Amino acid sequence: MAIEQIKMPQLGESVTEGTISKWLVSVGDKVNKYDPLAEVMTDKVNAEVPSSFSGVIKELIAEEGETYEVGQIILTIETEGGGEAVHDAPAETKAEEKAAAAPEAPAPSSQVTPADAPKGVRYSPAVLKLSQEHGIDLSQVTGTGGGGRITRKDLMKIIESGDIPTAAAAAAAPEKTEAPAPSPAPSQPAASKQAAPAPNVPVLPGDVEIPVTGVRKAIAANMLRSKHEAPHAWTMMEVDVTNLVEYRNSIKGEFKQKEGFNLTFFAFFVKAVAQALKEFPQINSMWAGDKIIQKKDINISIAVATDDALFVPVIKAADEKTIKGIAREINDLALKVRTGKLTSAEMQGGTFTVNNTGSFGSVQSMGIINYPQAAILQVESIVKRPVVMNNGMIAVRDMVNLCMSLDHRVLDGLVCGRFLQRVKEILENTSKDNTTIY
Q: Can you give the pLDDT at residue 133?
A: 73
Strands (E), 255-321: 285-287, 292-294, 300-302, 304-305, 310-311, 314-315
Residue ranges in 302-436 assigned as alpha helix (H): 323-338, 413-428
| Residue 408 annotated in active site | yes
- d(Cα 157, Cα 217) in Å, to the nearest integer? 9
Q: Mean per-residue pLDDT for 386-413? A: 95
Q: Is 327 left (phi over 0), alpha (psi -120 to 50) or beta?
A: alpha
- Residues comprising the chain, all counted: 438
Q: Pick from 32, 5, 36: which is nearest to 23 by CA?
A: 36
Catalytic status, residue 88? no
Residues 6 or more apart whose Cβ sits within 8 Å of residue 191: none
Cα distance between residue 91 and residue 96, in whole Å: 9
Residue of 173, 201, 230, 174 whose CA lies nearest to 353: 230
Answer whether 0.75 is exceeded by the pTM. Answer: no
Mean pLDDT of all residues in the chain?
Answer: 82
User: 192 pLDDT exceeds 70?
Assistant: no
pLDDT at 241 over 70: yes
Q: Mean pLDDT over residues 225-230, rounded?
A: 88
Short-list 119, 138, 118, 120, CA closest to 128: 138
> For the CA atoms of the chain, what is the radius of gyration?
26
pLDDT digits (tens, 9 = 90+) for 336-348: 988 888 888 898 8
Amino acid type, 8 = M
Which domains are present in the chain? 2-105 (2.40.50.100), 111-169+211-229 (4.10.320.10), 230-428 (3.30.559.10)
pLDDT at 2 over 60: yes
DSSP string over 115-162? TTSPTT--B-HHHHHHHHHHT--GGG----SGGG---HHHHHHHHHHT
126 contacts: CB under 8 Å, gap ≥ 6: 16, 17, 69, 152
Alpha-carbon distances of 108 from 70, 117, 123, 253, rounded to whole Å? 15, 16, 10, 63
- Residue 23: CB atoms within 10 A of its CB come to 19
Q: Let me know: does 2 contact 79? Beta carbons within 8 Å.
A: yes
- Per-residue pLDDT, averaged over 141-154, amounts to 75
The single-letter DSSP state of residue 347 is G
Report the pLDDT value the prediction gives residue 181, as an integer from 0 to 100. 41
* Residue 219: HSE in the Cβ half-sphere, 13 Å Cα cutoff: 17
How far is Cα 277 from Cα 413, in angstroms, rounded to an integer?
15
The 8-class DSSP code of residue 205 comes to T
Query: Any residues with CB less than 8 A from the CB of 407 and at least 6 apart, and which?
Result: 230, 231, 232, 287, 369, 373, 374, 375
Contact 304, 310 (CB under 8 A): yes
Give the whole-angstrom CA distance, residue 134 versus residue 138: 11
- Which of 2-16, 177-191, 207-221, 319-333 has the weakest average pLDDT? 177-191
**Termini Cα distance of the chain:** 55
Task: Please compute, for residue 280, the number of CA atoms within 13 A of its CA located in the half-sphere on the CB side.
Answer: 21
Average of per-residue pLDDT across 363-385 = 95
39 or 214: which leads in pLDDT? 39
How many Cα atoms are found within 13 Å in the side-chain-facing hemisphere of 11? 23
Strands 352-355, 304-305: pairing kind: unpaired
Question: Which of 171-175, 215-219, 264-268 comes out lowest in average pLDDT?
Answer: 171-175
Contacting residues for 207 by C-beta, under 8 A, at least 6 apart: none
